[in-house]
Amino acid sequence: MSSLEIYLAILVMAVVNYFTRVFPFIFFIKKEPPLYIIFIEKYFPPVIMMILIVYTLKDIDFKIYPYGFKELLGICVTAFLHLSIKNYLISIFGGTIFYMALVQYL
């Protein structure tokens, strides 16, 4: 691509990206959101949180050794730290360092 084409492509992506994020705010600007939106508003965050955990692991091949074992162990350590110490920085740093050690030394 020439540099002009690259800038145009960036402009298009910037506009489309903003549109995807602003869409519900435009759609429900005046009227009170209907009941099904209030339902989604309340119960969608826990659903998406679960989905995002799996999403961050999408490039792991669970079919080959060690079958995602390191990732599952990393998740367990993070969850254990969080349930016991209840400090989210300790949970996240601890889980990440544990996982890095698994990936780099094992």
Partner 1 sequence: MKYEKELKKAFSISIPVMMGYIVLGFAFGLLLTSFNYPWYLAPIMSIFIYAGALQFVAINFFNAKAGLIDIAIASWFVNIRQSFYGLSLLKRFKNSGNFKPFLIFGLTDETYALLTTIKDDESLSKKHYYLFLGLLNQLYWIIGCTSGALIGSYVKFNTAGLEFSLTALFVVLCIEQYKNLKNIYPFIIGAISSIFALIFVSSDKMLIVSIVSSLILMFFLRKKVEA
Would you call 9 helix, strand, or coil by DSSP? helix
Residue pair 76/102 in contact (Cβ under 8 Å)? The answer is no
| Residue 95: count of CB within 10 angstroms of its CB | 20
Kindly tell me which of 52 and 69 has the beta carbon lying closer to partner 1: 52
Residue 18 touches partner 1, criterion: CB under 8 A: yes
Q: What values do phi and psi take at 11, rounded to 5? A: -60, -45
Binding mask 37-66 for partner 1 (x = CB under 8 A): x-xxxxxxxxxxxxxxxxxxxxx-------
Contact footprint for partner 1 (CB under 8 A): 1, 5-6, 8-14, 16-25, 28, 33, 36-37, 39-59, 71, 74-75, 78-79, 82-83, 88-89, 91-93, 95-96, 99-104
